[in-house]
Amino acid sequence: MTAEVARLTDVLSLRDLAGRYLAGLDEGGFDETWARSLFTEDIEMTFPVGSHRGLAGVAGFTTEIMARWGRTHHHGSETQVDVVGDRAELSWSLIASHVHHGSPLPPDPTRYFQLGGRFTGTARRTPGGWRFDRLRLRIVWTTGAVPRGVTQVDRQTLDTRGDDLPTSAAGSAAGSAATSAATSAEENAPMPTTLTADQQKELIEKVFHEGLDLGDLAAADRYLTADFRNHGSHDDSMRGPEAFKHTIRIQQSAFSDIKYEILDFISMGDKAAIRWVMHGRHTGPFIGIQPTGLQVQHQAIIWFRFEGDRIAERWGIVDNFALQKFLQSGGKPVGPLTPAGKPAA
């Protein structure tokens, strides 16, 4: 009797573990506390849109995936559990609904994505309770439009049983290929913005104040799309919110008392442009120049593109040349250049 009670207690704890994981995907708040309550230090996660190993970075990995959606609903079946000592195997079926950013309430039928599949995993008993050490999702079916940033999936995470068609069905399948391709192209087209011009300006101001003035890295997760592209910045190869976090780190390490001022703003549909000036004090290394303590004014013209209620792309024309000359000269004003390449008199 005692052994059976212990086994049932473990089963209930493991089902609670799976339930808390699914509920957390919908509720958000992916931080270190959340990660440690669910996973071991050597957790391995294999999902259609990416894989991750190790507790460090799990929160960011999950945040990047879930940031693609405005809201989600994950519904799981009863978790099947097999406990052997301090190890356990778990599996459960899943139906997940994903609503695109900017979709109204209730969501428009064309603005959400659904999938059906099955989670499998293993868990280990730890001093803090049961924790996942392996977690994998295999997809059986999907419907609806995926986000523009999802360009490929791990085929090993797709359940392809039954995909081999009889010879008699080959013609029908070929005949539908063009239609499927056209539908896929339409579904993966950029999502139109839902923001008015005033809302676009307000969003940009939040990004600059919270991210660049205050150094809040989470602003990137709040206001940028999961596949955000930062053209003409410190590292164009980086994608997603992490690209803007990289810029925030550089700015915060090089300058103090940062204040961005938006001087001009124009909006054109899903794009907007601003002219800004950054005020700050040079107190850290920047573009190879050691701290000078100088008070600086840095200027740029930036274009943004919006998808839904977030920023999807940024193009920058930043006057780093003038700032570099100003810092190297010890604070001498840098005037406009003449055709000969010399400052105008």
Tokens of residue 166, six digits: 């009889």
Tokens of residue 342, six digits: 């010399």
Residue 338 placed within a domain: no
Verify that 153 and 69 share a domain, yes or no. Answer: yes
Residue 256 placed within a domain: yes
Residue 144 placed within a domain: yes
Identify the weakest region by mean pLDDT among 147-156, 284-293, 333-342. Answer: 333-342
| Confidence band, pLDDT 50/70/90 cuts, at residue 282 | very high
In whole numbers, what is the pLDDT of the chain averaged over residues?
Answer: 82
Burial of 177 (C-beta count, 10 Å sphere; 0-12/13-18/19+): exposed
Are the beta carbons of 307 and 190 closer than 8 angstroms?
yes
Q: Residue for token digits 């955000």?
A: 228
Domain end residue (candidates: 187, 210, 242)? 187
Using one digit for the tens of pLDDT, what is the confidence trace for 295-322? Answer: 999 899 999 999 888 999 999 888 888 8
Are the beta carbons of 249 and 233 closer than 8 angstroms?
no
Using one digit for the tens of pLDDT, what is the confidence trace for 19-54? Answer: 999 999 999 889 999 999 999 999 999 888 788 899
Look up residue 328 and give its amino acid: Q
210 vs 231: CA distance, rounded Å? 21
Verify that 207 and 322 share a domain, yes or no. Answer: yes
Residue 344 placed within a domain: no
CATH of the domain at 87: 3.10.450.50
Verify that 168 and 49 share a domain, yes or no. Answer: yes
Q: How many domains does the chain have?
A: 2
Verify that 260 and 323 share a domain, yes or no. Answer: yes
Question: Taking the mean position of all CA atoms in its chain, how far away is CA 330?
Answer: 40
119 vs 142: CA distance, rounded Å? 15
Verify that 167 and 238 share a domain, yes or no. Answer: no
Between strands 80-84 and 87-99, the pairing is antiparallel
pTM: 0.48
Mapped onto helix, strand or coil, the DSSP state of residue 330 is: coil
| Confidence band, pLDDT 50/70/90 cuts, at residue 183 | very low
Domain membership of residue 296 as a residue range: 197-328
Residue 61 placed within a domain: yes
Domain end residue (candidates: 142, 169, 187)? 187
Long-range contacts from 111-115, C-beta under 8 angstroms, 24+ separation = 111/145, 112/144, 112/145, 113/69, 113/142, 113/143, 113/144, 113/145, 113/146, 113/147, 114/142, 114/143, 114/144, 115/139, 115/141, 115/142, 115/143
